[in-house]
């Protein structure tokens, strides 16, 4: 289940701290957001309901911890994003990301190695996975 941008902000704090309270989250995000304690608690409840967070009562407060790793969510969100586009356009998206993101030499080396390994298993042509009328791939264009 996808999470909103606001929920993502909360999750980033939880992943960093591993276990936290609504007050700690509010303190950390106060310069970035204009959220109230009520807003943070509402977002936390949504994340608990979605199965992203667990909650434990400690004294008068609740402590929250992640039930799903940042890496798992990152992979799912990336898959969900790419599924919005014709798979023939995925390389264009990746190319744009590579051109626009800051990278170290080690990052570039890692990507080079990944692409070289990927050469072992490539397609002659990436098939279109869209339904008729959702893209401009030639197999979906009807001639009149």
Domain boundaries, the chain: 5-66, 85-119
**Res 138 pLDDT > 90:** no
Q: pLDDT band at 143, cuts 50/70/90?
A: very low
Q: What is the pLDDT of residue 2?
A: 81
pLDDT of residue 134: 85
Which region among 60-64, 104-108, 132-136 has the lowest average model confidence (pLDDT)? 132-136
Q: Which of 2-11, 54-63, 135-144 has the lowest mean pLDDT?
A: 135-144
Q: Which two tokens stand for residue 111?
A: 């990507």
Residue pair 33/9 in contact by the 8 Å Cβ criterion: yes
- What mean pLDDT, rounded, does the chain reach? 93
Q: Is the pLDDT of residue 140 over 90?
A: no
5-66 topology per CATH: Arc Repressor Mutant, subunit A (1.10.10)
The fraction of the chain above a pLDDT of 90, given in percent, is 85
Long-range contacts of the stretch 38-44 (C-beta < 8 A, 24+): 39/6, 40/10, 43/6, 43/7, 43/10, 44/10
Q: What are 44-75's pLDDT values in tens digits?
A: 999 999 999 999 999 999 999 999 999 999 99
Cα–Cα distance, 53 to 1 (Å, whole number) = 13
User: pLDDT of 76-96, one tens digit each?
Assistant: 999 999 999 999 999 999 999
Looking at residue 139, its pLDDT comes to 60
């Amino acid at each position: 289940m996808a999470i909103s941008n606001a929920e993502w902000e909360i999750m980033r704090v939880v992943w960093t701290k591993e276990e936290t309270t609504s007050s700690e989250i509010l303190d950390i995000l106060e310069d970035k957001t204009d959220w109230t304690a009520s807003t943070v608690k509402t977002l936390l409840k949504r994340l608990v309901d979605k199965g992203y967070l667990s909650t434990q009562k400690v004294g008068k407060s609740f402590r929250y911890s992640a039930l799903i790793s940042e890496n798992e969510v990152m992979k799912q969100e990336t898959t969900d994003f790419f599924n919005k586009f014709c798979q023939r356009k995925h390389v264009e998206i990746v190319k744009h990301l590579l051109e626009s993101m800051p990278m170290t030499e080690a990052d570039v080396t890692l990507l080079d190695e990944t692409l070289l390994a990927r050469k072992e298993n490539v397609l002659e042509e990436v098939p279109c996975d869209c339904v008729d009328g959702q893209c401009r791939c030639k197999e979906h264009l009807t001639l009149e």
